[in-house]
Structure 1
Amino acid sequence: MQQWRRFNGTVIKQSIEEEVRQVLMKEQQAGNKMRVCIGTDSQVKNKRIEFATVIVFVREGKGGFMYISNETVQNKMPVKQRMLEEVSRSIETAYRLCQLFIAFNVDMEIHADINTNPNFKSNSALKDAMSYIMGMPARLDGGFVFKAKPHAFAGSSCADKVVNP
């Protein structure tokens, strides 16, 4: 089971679905308009790959907060495969939570840590990642917004800080 924590390190003891439901209720009662951005980044460390997935809650005009989940795998992967694995992990998290976001009328974005500049290695995965996301079933009630670098702060900044402290 995937373990989630707050940015301050506090481990979430209940399911992430229940945690998010409670957070959305609290934020709605406080009158905050929310947007959620989900992203994953990875870092190769020796013969391991550490993945960090983040769920970033942005309060319009009032800052934000995030939840983090890390996982380390022993597999060796080419850059393109690793980028697609990052996108897959973000989508998996989005699917787990999408019905809550729909119920609370929260806009959702998937942020891919893939560079739009063809001079970077990660760009080799951009077309496949976009096709993957755009080909997903419409389970998310009309879909979600997909963003890549430089507009993908959840993956390229927030998750990056977790795997590259």
Structure 2
Amino acid sequence: METQQQIWQNMTGKIFRNSITHLVEEAIIREQANGHLIKVCVGSDSHVYGDTINYATAVVFIREGKGAFTFIRKEREIRKISIKERMLNEVNKSVEIAYAICSILEMYDVEMEVHVDINTDPEFKSNVALKDAMGYILGMGYVFKAKPYAFASSNCADMMV
């Protein structure tokens, strides 16, 4: 399976060739120099088209009272998997990025949340992965947010997948 792990873009499609750690640190320095209080939210989403699964991971920078901006990574897999495995793949992609950037965020005293596109209502299929996802993210020491509070996955990544 071929992934484009180091190819990040913004919501308008501008491509960045730097690693996410470099992009995050550069953004934090710039935003703090401009006097913005920021928080970072990481989330992933996926859509299935036949045997193809398209994933998008979003790293969202929220400027308190001043809007937001996002870095997006897209990936594609060709295989059939269960809904639970797909939801946990999304979670894993988010945790992978959260882990990669957490030391930078700590260095600059920036809060982070990990968002999952999993419904808290048991009537929805994605709910099958809720407990596993919550345990994984909280066990890593991150703040966990699920629908309807998980905009990084449910909105930002969803728009780009």
Name the TM-score class by shorter chain.
Answer: over 0.9
Do the aligned partners of 2:137 and 2:143 also contact (CA within 8 Å) in 1? no
Do the aligned partners of 2:11 and 2:160 also contact (CA within 8 Å) in 1? no
Indicate the residue corresponding to 1:15 in structure 2.
19
Do the aligned partners of 1:107 and 1:144 also contact (CA within 8 Å) in 2? no
Partner secondary structure for residue 117 of structure 2: strand
Q: Distance in 2 between matches of 1:115 and 1:81?
A: 15
Aligned sequence identity (%): 50
Q: Does 1:153 align with 2:151?
A: yes
Do the aligned partners of 2:88 and 2:129 also contact (CA within 8 Å) in 1? yes
Question: Residue 65 of structure 1: which of 66, 69, 90 is its match?
Answer: 69
The alpha carbon displacement at 1:32 in A equals 0.3
The alpha carbon displacement at 1:115 in A equals 0.0
Do the aligned partners of 2:114 and 2:137 also contact (CA within 8 Å) in 1? no
Indicate the residue corresponding to 1:32 in structure 2.
36
Give the CA RMSD over aligned residues.
Answer: 0.9
The alpha carbon displacement at 1:46 in A equals 1.8
Gaps of 5+ in 2: none
Q: Distance in 2 between matches of 1:35 and 1:126?
A: 24
Amino acid in structure 2 at the alignment position of 1:148 = A
Indicate the residue corresponding to 1:139 in structure 2.
none
Amino acid in structure 2 at the alignment position of 1:82 = R
The alpha carbon displacement at 1:135 in A equals 2.5
Partner secondary structure for residue 149 of structure 2: coil
Amino acid in structure 2 at the alignment position of 1:7 = M
The alpha carbon displacement at 1:16 in A equals 1.7
After the TM superposition, which of the residue ranges 113-122 and 126-135 deviates more from structure 2? 126-135
After the TM superposition, which of the residue ranges 109-118 and 14-23 deviates more from structure 2? 14-23
Q: Distance in 2 between matches of 1:82 and 1:129?
A: 11
Structure 1 length-normalised TM: 0.92
Structure 2 length-normalised TM: 0.94
Across the two proteins, how many residue pairs are aligned to each other? Answer: 157
Cα deviation, 1:86-118, whole Å, max 9, x if unaligned, reads: 000000000111111101111100000000000
The alpha carbon displacement at 1:81 in A equals 0.7
Divergent runs of 4+, >3 A: none
The alpha carbon displacement at 1:31 in A equals 0.7
Q: Distance in 1 between matches of 2:158 and 2:113?
A: 17
Question: Residue 115 of structure 1: which of 96, 112, 119 is its match?
Answer: 119
The alpha carbon displacement at 1:47 in A equals 1.1
